[in-house]
Amino acid sequence: MARQTDNRKCLWCEQPIRGRADKKYCDDNCRNAFNNQRQEGEYNLVRNINRTLIRNRRILATVMQQAGSETCISKDILLQMGFQFKYFTQAFTSADGQVCHCCYDYGYLRLPEEGFLVIKKIENILTARLTGR
């Protein structure tokens, strides 16, 4: 009957492994290659998310350029500008249960009708008149 350890394969090159039961790679070369690729993958993931967050902030800043401390905008326009709603830096819920999402110092919350209210600067977000919107 074959032991499970007989079927072990190197995590990098997938060749059968001989030796200690906890061995995961053929040798140091395979281990280094595997770890390098994994770190690069993690780095790319973080870099892509950071870029998306910065792009989202830039879109909100553009929307706010001609406005005062807050303005309304439709979801479609935000999407057309490339806004990605699933990426934000913070979210908090007001006393009346409205969720405000933020990208750094800009925030937005869904209006009861269509679209979103965009708020500039974290101080304004924290003191925003969320009630009755």
To Zn ion, the closest distance from the beta carbon of 31 in angstroms equals 8
> From CA 27, how far away is CA 83, in angstroms rounded?
45
124, 68 Cβ separation under 8 angstroms: no
Return the number of the residue (13 or 72) whose C-beta is nearest Zn ion: 13
Contact between 119 and 128 under an 8 Å Cβ cutoff? The reply is yes
Residue placing its CB nearer to Zn ion in the complex, 12 or 83: 12
Q: Give whichever of 8 and 110 is closer to Zn ion, judged by the CB atom.
A: 8
Q: CA 17 to CA 11: how far, in whole Å?
A: 10
Q: Which stretch binds Zn ion (CB under 5 A): 12-20, 46-54, 111-119, 123-131?
A: 12-20
Q: How many residues does the chain have?
A: 133
The arrangement of strands across the sheet holding 90-93 comes to: 70-73, 116-120, 106-110, 99-103, 90-93
**Of the candidates 13, 33, 111, 122, which one interacts with Zn ion according to CB under 5 A?**
13
> Please, which residue, 28 or 113, has the CB nearer to Zn ion?
28
* Shortest distance (Å) from residue 18 CB to Zn ion: 11
Is 17 a binding residue for Zn ion by CB under 5 A? The answer is no
Q: Which residues of the shown chain bind Zn ion in the complex (CB under 5 A)?
A: 10, 12-13, 26, 30
